[in-house]
Amino acid sequence: MPGHYSGRFWPRGLKTALPDLDVTELPLTDDLNHPAGPARQAMRLAADAFGAGITRFITSGSTTALHILLAATLGRGDCLLLPRCSHQAVLHAVALLDLEPCWLQPAELPDSASRFSLLPQILADTVDSALRENPRCRAVLVTSPDYYGGCPDLVAIAKAVHRHGAILLVDEAHGAHLGFAPDMLPPSAMAAGADACVQSGHKTLPVLTPGSYLQISQTALAQGSIDAANLERMIPVFQTSSPSFPVAATLDYARAWLVAEGRRQICYQLDRLDELAIHLGPDIFCSPRSMRPAPNYPGLRDPLRLIITGAQEQAALPAVALADEMAAGGLDVEFADLTRLVLIPSLRQPAAAWRQLARRLRSALSDMPAAARDSAAADRRLVLEKTWRHYLTAIPEMAVRPGQVLFQPQQLQSVPLAQAAGQISARAVLPYPPGIPLIWPGERFDQPRVDFLRQMLENKISINGIDQARVWIIA
């Protein structure tokens, strides 16, 4: 994982101690699900460092943390306001709790921002009017940053949500580092006024997979809009009764490291990003250091999330082929969409590794067969990407609620994707990464979506929920 850079990030003492830290709940070690002693102390230190009222260490990832958070703040059948571009972990929480999803329509990104991202963003005005139209929704959940580093204007969104007496929950899986260099990075959820958030430590920090921080704000606790007792009640419902002490120890270590060195290292990393832009050469373009993707645009982006794309906007980078070429040369990238590579450089990546990255990118691009760089193929990818953007936000007919499809006995059938139009999907269908479902369980396939999914497969985009060109439907 880039976060701990194959363990090189940790001091030798921690690295060698990991097997010894794999203990069970004893009076000396405390209980991560019911922290009362040293674990509680470590979580208190984390809450202080992250600017939260309560932090809990969840050692089975932000997936579990999101399930706990939604169960602690909403009741079965409640309405949740959320953008369509939410991670599958949110979908599964919606299904588990049989919530009613109520969609927030995002705004289109300005061209200068869409160059570095596939995903649209939510505006505060949209949240405001959605809450006015749906007063039953007492909670709003947004993702910030998204996989591409895109962040909505959380400060304005938090104000809009609170004006309506609702709570703002943030999937900050990609942003555990944000609070430690506030002048150089977009505001963290806690700093922006959100009521709660989850952060995957293993994505950007030296934390073992799957370590997550679940944070509740001081204000939400003081005002009683989130009940701490409810949170404590839900942790053992969703988290194993054997949570991992090694993972928790690295969550504790990452907190200490961020406090001591985070800001300096973030500064160093931003300087390396500037250098990378110079070393990449004329054919490749990398996301800039600037936080604001376009003048007057209210959203921000995390400059530490590195996006590589073609130098010419119209000459779409053959990203999947480039990622394959890089992997063949021993350098794996986080993921490739149709026109960009997304990389998560370790906060400890040494200068030599940055130079090597620039060299590899240049040589992978020049080694690629001419067919991969063909301009007609580039045009086709741009058209397909436009369709992908459309289906990321277009809402199919929901014939059956996701909770009903996943948890009530159903007669299921596997059919070729080509014959799925008109059928109700029994599974989420999602390109992975970024893990954002295009079809939720219970939604109906239509012919244009089927055609689009087939084109995505032809372009080697891996899609969960489609197996050997077949999908599961309700018979």
Ligand X SMILES: Cc1ncc(COP(=O)(O)O)c(C=O)c1O
Binding site for ligand X (CB under 6 A): 61-63, 87, 89, 143, 147, 171, 173, 200, 210, 212, 435
Q: How far is the CB of 222 from ligand X (least distance, A)?
A: 27
Q: Shortest Cβ contact with ligand X: which residue?
A: 61
Q: How far is the CB of 174 from ligand X (least distance, A)?
A: 6
Q: How far is the CB of 85 from ligand X (least distance, A)?
A: 9
Question: Residue 430: enclosing H or E segment and its boundaries?
Answer: strand 430-431
Collapse the DSSP code of 127 into the 3-class scheme (helix H, G, I; strand E, B; otherwise coil) and give the result. helix
Q: How far is the CB of 390 from ligand X (least distance, A)?
A: 21
CB-nearer residue toward ligand X: 85 or 284: 85
Question: Residue 301: enclosing H or E segment and its boundaries?
Answer: strand 300-301
CA distance 134 to 220: 22
**Quick one: 272 exposed, middle or buried, by C-beta within 10 A (0-12, 13-18, 19+)?**
middle
CB-nearer residue toward ligand X: 89 or 235: 89
Q: How many residues in total does the chain contain? A: 475
Q: How far is the CB of 203 from ligand X (least distance, A)?
A: 7
**Residue whose token pair is 């050997």:** 468
**Quick one: 362 exposed, middle or buried, by C-beta within 10 A (0-12, 13-18, 19+)?**
middle
CA distance 30 to 43: 12
Q: How far is the CB of 215 from ligand X (least distance, A)?
A: 14
Chain centroid to Cα 341, Å, comes to: 16
Q: How many helices (H) and strands (E) does the chain have?
A: 18, 17
CB atoms within 10 A of CB 382: 15
**Quick one: 146 exposed, middle or buried, by C-beta within 10 A (0-12, 13-18, 19+)?**
buried
CA distance 117 to 103: 21
Q: How far is the CB of 338 from ligand X (least distance, A)?
A: 19
Question: Residue 275: enclosing H or E segment and its boundaries?
Answer: helix 263-279
Report the DSSP pairing between strands 167-171 and 139-143.
parallel
CB-nearer residue toward ligand X: 164 or 203: 203
Report the DSSP pairing between strands 212-216 and 54-58.
antiparallel
CB-nearer residue toward ligand X: 93 or 400: 93
Chain centroid to Cα 372, Å, comes to: 29
Q: How far is the CB of 370 from ligand X (least distance, A)?
A: 35
Q: How far is the CB of 460 from ligand X (least distance, A)?
A: 20
CB-nearer residue toward ligand X: 242 or 447: 242
